[in-house]
Amino acid sequence: MTDTAPTAIPPSAQVTLPDGRVELAPGTPPPSGPYANEDLLPVPVEKRTWTTYNFSALWVGMAHNTASWTLASGLIAVGMDWKQAVFTIALANVIVLVPMLLTGHAGPKYGIPFPVFARASFGVRGANLPAVVRALVACGWFGIQTWIGGEAIYFLAGKLIGDSWADAGRIGGYAWTMWLSFALFWALQVAIIHRGMETIRRFENWAAPFVLVGAFVMLWWMSSKAGGLGPLFDQPSRLGWGGDFWKLFWPSLMGMIGFWSTLSLNIPDFTRYGRSQKAQTRGQALGLPTTMTLFAFLSVLVTSGSQAVYGEPVWDPVQLAAKTDNVVGLLYALVTVLVATLSVNIAANLVSPAFDFSNVAPRKVSFRAGALVTSVLAVLIFPWKLYSDPQGYIFTWLGLVGGLLGTVAGILIADYWLLRRARLHLADLYRAGGRYWYAGGWNWRAVVAFVVGGVLAIGGASFRPLVDGRPIPALEPLADYGWAVGLGTSMLLYLLLMLPRASREREPAPTDAVDAS
């Protein structure tokens, strides 16, 4: 750094503040051209305002949702007892917190979203590959969560209106009122996202505690139906702790990791608003593993209680709430489901793909337009079919998602931490011909690592109940460890392919226009 500001600031000049955060130097025009728009530009330091509480509340809101509930209750449905299910989920969330913090680091430091962050490793154009893959996965999640929210509206309105609503004529196997509920919930989410990120932050702050209280109400209701907490803890495992459990444990663990593998990539979309590195680190460490484990504990106890009361585990909380005869209790439970689903769906499954689709054509697709594209694709993937049973939900959907996205995480971590030592040149992330342009905007090394890691991670996986069989039967032994295989393979291969280039072109330090220390 220099002691005084230069008379002419170079186009790539950036300022490093005493706390380590980086922004474009004062007086430097913001990046423009075909690879930049207002939503993708670095967030100015004065607008990075999220605190530890905001990040913790974000995770509480995202963790306490219907899909998380079915994640835990689904393990009970496939044979685990409450101890095995909670252990599996707790371990998975401690593991996935590591890549979450590693990729999240670039957010508060540089103020950039995930698709721009990915340009450093995949290339300015090549970043569209992981961005679109991640966005399409989010579309699937957005559709599933929207269907759940629509289901809650359907049952809620049915209790208020009566049988004429619940027994309406059927279209495509569902009452037309169910389709209407689905459309209403879809429109509500689009309206919230249209108001921007500050609205989302405020919504998350009050939604988080409301949902947690609702989960405890569900526990109280089920324990009273079962005659106390004892029956909830007494439901035995159908697997024991022997070979049957461990055979199920590994694919379940990978599925639990896969549940948040999307966020482990695009967490910079949120941490870019962080007031400090400490805020995002503490907020995520306090928010993710603790709240997910607590919510899993509540979920498995309630599901175990449903097994004691009804003779079989009811893994869908909406279906379980509908069994009550208490109208007030039902209304509270279903409103909780609505708030929980809104909380996670907007934050986790609409914000990030909106940025991803915007990255494909920054001059033509804004953040709001990207959100609308996500919302439309979420309907076209037929979410009512994806959300059909715990076997397909955990072992097919989550397993495939985790294995595929783990490969991207391995590349991002290797590039940012091991090759670049967390140093990026902001302006070059937005222009052709810079250090991240590679060959025509694509880094073929990242693409090769992604393809090889992806094939090894999911090539031997079962696609049931979607289709029978495995794409590459010889890779079946790797299928139960998809996320770990994808992350480890892509990380190692990317480093091997990049090291010759890195040794030829040592990464120069970014230009600091002024002495900010």
Predicted pLDDT at 438: 95
Predicted pLDDT at 423: 93
**14-16 and 22-24 strand pairing:** antiparallel
**170-171 and 174-175 strand pairing:** antiparallel
Q: d(Cα 263, Cα 267) in Å, to the nearest integer?
A: 5
Given a contact cutoff of 8 angstroms between Cβ atoms, the answer to whether 133 and 457 are in contact is no
Predicted pLDDT at 132: 87
Given a contact cutoff of 8 angstroms between Cβ atoms, the answer to whether 142 and 345 are in contact is yes
Predicted pLDDT at 402: 81
Predicted pLDDT at 9: 42
Furthest CA-CA distance within the chain? 78
Burial tier of 268 (Cβ tally within 10 Å: 0-12, 13-18, 19+): buried
Q: What per-residue string of b and e applies to 441-467 under the rule 16 or more CB within 10 Å gives b?
A: bbbebbbebbebbbbbbbbbbbeeeee
Nearest CA to 428 out of 154, 179, 123 is that of 123
Please give the backbone phi and psi of residue 170, each rounded to the nearest 5 degrees, phi first.
-100, 145
Class at the top of the CATH hierarchy for domain 29-384: mainly alpha
Predicted pLDDT at 62: 73
Contacts of 142 (CB under 8 A, 6+ apart): 345, 349, 350, 353, 374, 375, 378
Q: Hey, where are the domains in the chain?
A: 29-384
Cβ count within 10 A of residue 403:
32
Predicted pLDDT at 440: 94
Chunked into runs of 10 residues, the chain (517 residues) has average pLDDT values of 42 81 87 87 92 86 72 77 86 92 95 94 95 84 84 82 84 89 87 63 60 75 77 69 84 83 86 94 91 82 79 73 72 74 73 77 78 84 69 65 89 96 94 93 97 93 68 85 92 95 61 45
Q: d(Cα 202, Cα 423) in Å, to the nearest integer?
A: 32
Q: d(Cα 344, Cα 63) in Å, to the nearest integer?
A: 7
User: Residue 289, preceding bond cis, omega within 30 degrees?
Assistant: no
What are the counts of helices (DSSP H) followed by strands (DSSP E) for the chain?
Answer: 25, 4
Burial tier of 152 (Cβ tally within 10 Å: 0-12, 13-18, 19+): buried
